Structure formats: C-alpha cells, structure tokens
Amino acid sequence: MLAAERRDLLLTRLRTDGKVVAKDLAAELGLSEDSIRRDLRDLAAQGLCQKVYGGAVPASPAVVDYAGRRALAPESKQEVARRAARLVHPGAVVVLDGGTTALAVAGALPADLTCTVVTHSPTVAVALLEHPGVETILIGGRIFKHSAVACGAAAVEAAGSVSADLFLLGVTGVHLEHGLTTGDADEAAMKRALSRRAAETWVLASAEKLGTASAFDVLGLDDVAGIVTDGGDHEVSRGLAARGIAVL
C-alpha cells in the first residue's frame, strides 16, 4: 500500500466513522502505530484533521469533504444525482451548482434531454458538452481553486440576472438548527445569489451531510422546496419532513 493511498484511506475513515483510532488502524493495516500517528500528524499539520489523544477526528465537514472527495465512494453521490436528475423536466431552465454532487447530476441527465442549464462551474460546463440538447450558460468570474467554481462580485451580479425554474444547490452541511451551510463565505454568497431568482430550490446532500454544519450560512431550511438525499430513514430527514420540506 502506497503512503499516499493510506492517507486517503485515513481521510475516508475520518469521514465515514467520524474518527480514526491509531491503534486499530495500525492493526488493520499491519503497520506500526508510529506510522499511523505520523500520517495523522502530517494531515493535522495540513489542517485536514484534528489530532486527539488516541487518534484523530475530522477538522470540519467542509475541509474533509474537499480533501477526501476523490476517495469518496461515488455511490451515494450517484444515487443523489439520479434522483435529482428526475427533477429536471424538458424545456426547463435549471441552475446547477458547483461541486462533485452537481457534477454527478450533470452526468446523470438523460442524453437526449432538451433544457437550459445555468452553472458557475467550468467542470460542470465541460461535462455538459456531452449533452447536445442542453443549452449551457456559464457564469464567469474569478475561479476558486479549491472548489473549482466562479465566485466573486462579478459572478454574483451575473447570477442575479437569471430567472430559473429550478436551482439544484449543493451544500456541505444540512442541520435542523443551523440550516444549510458551506465552508466558504464567497461560495455561500454565490449560492444565495443563485437561489434568489429561482422559482424552486432543491438541496443536493448525500446522507453523510445530514446533521452536520459548516462555518458559513447559505440558506435557512424554509427557503428550500425540498432536499434530495440517499439512503433510508434519518433523524434529519424526519425533521425536515415535519417542517413541510420534501425529501426525495
């Protein structure tokens, strides 16, 4: 096993289990605890996790999401994407957020669908080149390297001039008290701007994001029409449904 590979595994475990115990991982991988501790120390130095006595815990949902996204099992995102794709009707004007989940939605759209998609993610725009029937409107601006989307004043302004039927919003945290949150202030502003003139906003959130919160508020739960998630029953799902928010 490569050292870089092992580091990804640690980040994945942090995300799925919420913690990593050095002793357990050492036994599982057949390595000394020293090596695991060394890895955790390095990751902590990069801000990707937080060391605690005996192991480590995630730094913040947003950070871990970004750092470990390649290692993430795409299954949950694929499932969310498939469900979200069904919300997009022929001829509709849809705003598609940035992020890996929204990218998966772009890939999950039917090949022959005819509609208009507005996005501030060049990655999504490139993915939509494969859909000849989809008219793509790209919102420009300064590109944020870590999330690969256009943000900033110009982008927010451009977003304000689009009236869409549907906005598919990606967030890093869905919390009954804190609402919808993400890990970057500019991104949050961008998402708010995209939401403002959309008739309906639906949230894309795989199950592991339910019950978590990041630093910056995006919207309140009552500002959205529904949420698309995967998996079965969840405490947060029930709470959302109780507040009249559709759960797909």
Chain residues in the site for DNA (CB under 7 A)? 1, 3, 6, 22-23, 30-35, 37-39, 41, 51-55
Smallest distance, its own copies to C-beta of residue 151, A: 10
Interface with its own copies, residue 128, by CB under 8 A: yes
- Is 92 near its own copies (CB under 8 A)? no
Q: Which two tokens stand for residue 162?
A: 């689009």
Residue 132 lies near its own copies (rule: CB under 8 A): yes
Q: Treating both helix axes as pointing N-terminal to C-terminal, what angle do 33-45 and 22-29 enclose, rounded to 10 degrees?
A: 120
Residue 142 partner contact from DNA, its own copies, none using kind-dependent CB cut-offs of 5 to 8 Å = its own copies
**Angstrom distance (rounded) from CA 129 to CA 151:** 22
Residue among 8 and 200 whose Cβ is closer to its own copies: 8
Enumerate residues 37-76 that contact its own copies by CB under 8 A.
Answer: 52-55, 57-58, 60-62, 66, 70
CA–CA distances in Å: residue 192 to residues 152, 182, 197? 12, 11, 9
Q: Is 21 in the site for its own copies (CB under 8 A)?
A: yes
Q: Is 91 in the site for its own copies (CB under 8 A)?
A: no
Q: Which of 34, 37, 59, 35 lies closest to 48 in space, CA to CA?
A: 59
| Partner whose footprint covers residue 105, from DNA, its own copies, none (CB < 5 to 8 Å by kind) | none
Q: How many residues are there in the chain?
A: 248
Q: Distance of CA 217 to CAs 73, 102, 177, 182, Å?
A: 27, 19, 11, 7
Q: Which CB, 38 or 192, lies closer to DNA?
A: 38
Q: What is the dihedral of CA 114, 248, 208, 205, to 10 degrees?
A: 40
Phi and psi angles of residue 111, each rounded to the nearest 5 degrees, phi first: -65, -30
Residues near its own copies, by CB under 8 A: 2-5, 19, 21, 52-55, 57-58, 60-62, 66, 70, 120, 122-123, 125-126, 128-129, 132, 135-143, 145, 148, 150, 154-155, 158
